Structure 1
Amino acid sequence: MPDEKDCNAADGSKGQPLGDYLANVRTAKQMSLRDVEEAAAGVVSNAYLSQLEHGRISKPSPNILHCLARVYGVAYETLMQKAGYIAAAVNNETGSKRHGRVATFAKQNLTNEEEESLLEYLAFLRSKKGRKS
């Protein structure tokens, strides 16, 4: 597997790191690490997921990213970007980055940072809701 330093064609370091992004998405979906492990059907363990979320693993294989994209219902391309495998998609007509799947109802395209902030806020709201129960 190539080292993170070897892949300088894509910048996965802008915005939220992959591990933080995955943790926020998992929290927003109210899933435990074991829930994800079960949904991943043996592709990834909860221990590996924990290392990924804590930044001890920063460049998982594309196969693992594909599985996590399916389990979390997020764009595979987003995870590939955050892992540093590919560059962010750009709209050829406007030159702007396309927004992800978080808020497709938005009038304007969201930046990656706005999308990540929405995920963080959603995770916060859901964690608050969980405490009231």
Structure 2
Amino acid sequence: MGATILEEKIFIDAELLTNIEEESQVIIHCRMNADEYANAARIWPSTFLIDNTTGKRCQLVFADGITMYPNWTYIEENSSLDFTLIFNGLPKSCKSFDLVELIPQAGGFEYRKIPRNKTDVYHVDFS
């Protein structure tokens, strides 16, 4: 007795496919050094990636290895703090972007004109 293989065609709405393709994340591995003086760091939820062409903001969705405002993460003198930030995905058309912590005081994280790569995984040194 032989097996019968049925050929089925599945149709997926083009709009649904577009939404799936644009669902992505941007991962930024960060390092902050403390020199001969101890330091402290924290990340505010008002930290964004900003597309340099369109101005579109991508929201911070997760932080690992650093505390969220209002708490501080202590960095001993002559050591480093390594942490990871995960953001919602950038638009496909994005060629470069800024990492900006928009806060009501001086000293927010800021790293400008990061060239976009194919993996959307980046390394930033805030030293």
Quickly name the TM-score band, shorter chain normalised. under 0.3
Higher percent of residues as strand: 2
Give the TM-score of the pair, scaled to structure 2.
0.24
Q: Which has the larger radius of gyration?
A: 2
Higher percent of residues as helix: 1
